A and B are shown apart, each in its own frame.
Chain A
Amino acid sequence: MYRIALKMLFRDRAKYAMLVCGLAFCSLLMCQQSSVFCGLMMWTTATVRNIGAPVWVVDEKVEQANEVIPLRKIEVERVRSVPGVAWAVPLYLGIEQARLSDGSFQNIQLAGLDTGTLTGRPMTLREGRIEDLRLPNAVVVDQVAVEKFRRKGIKIQLGTTFEVNDKEARVVGICQSNRSFLGQPYVFTTYDRALEYAKPARKQLSYVLAGPIPGVSPKELAARIDRLPGLRSIEQDDLFWLTVWWYINNTGIPISFGTVVILGIVVGIAIAGQTFYLFVYDNLRYLAALKAMGARMPILAGMVLLQAFTVGFIGYGIGVGLAAWFGNVVLAKEQPPFYMPWEVPAFVAAVIIFICGFSAVIGLAKIARLEPAVVFR
């Protein structure tokens, strides 16, 4: 009977197309918007992921990774004094202005890495050598800088120079990094040179990065450092989620994206639910005939569920496929943000299952109440 159920579904082309389109649109809307939201959240945590250190030490009032309250240089030594610390290095992070050779400006995210160890160096270097950062005026720029400068007609390559606060910077490497929330390119240099590029200030240390000795977990180390007065110590994963939750709680981003996702669910339920109900309603007479001919309720329920979940599966596949295609296109252009972790398609699948189940149950309720004798009326 299940083959017959599928034939009944596929050959009712108008309703089949409507059901698949409705569910595909619903899946696309939820998947695309959730992925853009996740992408945006990933942008907010770009610094944490670009630098990368087991434990981040900040001022005790700092609430998330993009909030910098400068520390005294002495804090590095204070952190090093905590039992269980294998190493602790300074990190400068600030937004500076780069002046290009044609006189135009570009805001950059300047990262000053510990000169000796270059802790927090970019993971992937497309061109150049990271050790060359120790050369005079050397900086490593990311692919965002190359793209932004290219749009301004300037080709960035090894040896290209520009100015940061009137001081020369020479490109010795091009790296791959995660894009920041505000879209400024990352420019990596050494900590000491970063302080030269930065505007003078009484305190200039942004973060202390620390790592534990063997046998001490980053979480445990963070807890120990956290006991130092005036400092807050956060393990990398915690800082990531702290930042994400800060943006969720303090901005309108989740509301706007959540509204669209809810809209997707409502549209899905309305279109799919109503169309499927109509599909069942139109077939009610034939289902009653099947019931009269000896089709038991579990068989009819199986037929209806198969029909509902078949359109759900196809609609879901098309919707998520389109969202992935959209993601591929925008990832090539780097805007808007797009990140589809497995939880997004899983969430969309759960919603589609709910919608299909809901639609099927409405139809089944009608069938369950159906007297087979109606076929004689």
Chain B
Amino acid sequence: MNTPSPKIAVRVRNVVKSFPSGDSRTYALKGATLEARFGELLMIVGPSGCGKTTLLSVMCGTLGFDEGDISVFDHDLRRMKDGQITRFRCENIGFIFQQFNLIPTLTAAENASVPLVLNGVRPSEAERRASRMLAEVGIGEKAGSYPNQLSGGQQQRVAISRALVHEPRLVICDEPTASLDAATGQKTLELLKSSALHPDRCVIVVTHDNRIYHFADRIAEMEDGRVTGIYDNPKDYHHA
């Protein structure tokens, strides 16, 4: 009996991205090809400077690309205008940044409510839903605290709440454990996997923290601007 092929959330084909560098150009992506599926946590790993973050940026439409094709939920990014991409990002993508990027003058609930407000939800309703989300990730009692009153792990939980509060279909995480100690990093990934993963959602994590590789469903290895290997079992990557 044939098993149905998994639904593809993000498809990247032969993407090239270069940046001007004096008179010449530096190529960050040299024909990267990758597919991310619904219901999986895909980790993009590789050494510093291999193009992981650039690939992440072009996949979510925050950065343009020179050649190739990218489609997210069957939307061809190349054919979309800037405004459409921004709107698409707003509705469909949740972000978790390395530095959290929580606005210091807003409380945890206000920070977490930002994507909802951007999607047109009334601020009071958005804050109510954000507080509920904070409770789900275990820091409901910190809803009124400012980022500087929270530990690194708590700040990352607020960031996770912010990424998930508007129920996006794609969650993009850039080095989510880079600013955390080992134990907090493990807990963060556990939380991310338990709260973010969903059959209709895809989670893409860029990292070079090998202590969290075992959380991945699949691992994409990058080197020199290309995806050099896809590992369906994270253990295979460890042995590779």
> Which residues does A use to contact B, with CB under 8 Å?
1, 3-4, 7-8, 11-12, 283, 285-286, 288-296, 299, 371-373, 375-377
The reply to whether the CB of B90 lies closer than 8 angstroms to some CB of chain A is yes
Complex Cα–Cα for A140 and B105 (A): 66
Contacts of A377 in B (CB 8 A): 53
Q: Whole-angstrom distance between the alpha carbons of A291 and B118 in the complex?
A: 10
> Which residues of chain A have C-beta atoms less than 8 A from B63's C-beta?
371-373
Q: Contacts A7-B106, A285-B101, A372-B62 known; A294 to B115 CB distance under 8 Å? A: yes
Q: Is the CB of A376 within 8 A of B97?
A: yes
Residue of chain B at shortest CB distance from A1: B117
Least CB separation from A377: chain B residue: B53
Task: Decide: A376 and B174 in contact? CB cutoff 8 A.
Answer: yes
Q: Does B95 contact A (CB under 8 A)?
A: yes
B189-218 with Cβ < 8 A to chain A: none
Which residue from chain A places its CB closest to the CB of B98 in the assembled complex? Answer: A376
Q: List 26 A-B contacts (CB under 8 A).
A: A1-B118, A7-B105, A7-B110, A8-B105, A8-B106, A285-B101, A286-B101, A289-B97, A289-B103, A290-B118, A292-B60, A293-B89, A293-B114, A294-B87, A294-B89, A294-B90, A294-B93, A294-B118, A371-B63, A372-B62, A373-B62, A375-B97, A375-B174, A376-B97, A376-B98, A377-B53
Query: Considering only CB atoms, which chain A residue lies closest to B115 in the complex?
Result: A293
In the complex, what residues of A have CB within 8 A of residue B103's CB?
Answer: 4, 8, 283, 286, 289
Tell me whether B86 and A371 are in contact (CB under 8 A). no
Task: For the complex formed, measure the closest distance between the CB of A217 and the CB atoms of chain B, giving whole angstroms.
Answer: 61
- CB of A375 within 8 A of CB of B101, answer yes
Bound form: Cα–Cα A372–B95 in Å? 12
Contact indicator B110/A292 (Cβ below 8 Å): no
Closest approach, in angstroms, between the C-beta of A293 and any C-beta of chain B? Answer: 6
B114 proximity list for chain A (CB < 8 A): 4, 290, 293
* Interface residue count on the B side (C-beta < 8 Å): 30
How far is A128 from B91 in the complex, measured between Cα atoms in Å? 81
A290 CA / B90 CA spacing, docked (Å): 9
User: B82-124 CB contact bits vs A (8 Å, 1 = yes)?
Assistant: 0100110111010101110101111000100011011100010
A373–B123 Cα gap in the complex (Å)?
26
Q: Which 9 A-B pairs have the closest CB atoms?
A: A294-B90, A11-B105, A289-B101, A373-B63, A373-B57, A372-B62, A373-B62, A294-B89, A286-B103
A376 touches B53 (CB 8 A): yes
- Tell whether, in the assembled complex, residue A296 and residue B86 are in contact, meaning their CB atoms are under 8 Å apart: yes
Question: Smallest CB–CB gap between B80 and chain A, Å?
Answer: 13
Question: Is B12 at the interface (CB under 8 A from chain A)?
Answer: no
Most chain A C-beta atoms within 10 Å of own C-beta, residue among B95, B103, B104: B103
Chain B residues with CB under 8 Å of A7's CB are 105-106, 110
Residues of B within 8 A of A371 (CB): 62-63
State whether A295 touches B105 (Cβ < 8 A): no
**Are the CB atoms of B105 and A292 closer together than 8 Å?**
no
C-alpha gap A295/B95 in the complex (Å): 13
Q: A260 CA to B62 CA in the complex, in Å? A: 48
Chain B residues positioned under 8 Å from A288 (CB to CB): 101
Which B residues from 12 to 29 make CB contacts under 8 A with A? none
Beyond A290-B118, A296-B87, list 15 extra A-B contacts (CB 8 Å): A1-B117, A1-B118, A4-B110, A4-B117, A7-B110, A8-B105, A290-B114, A293-B89, A294-B89, A295-B86, A295-B90, A372-B62, A375-B101, A376-B56, A377-B53
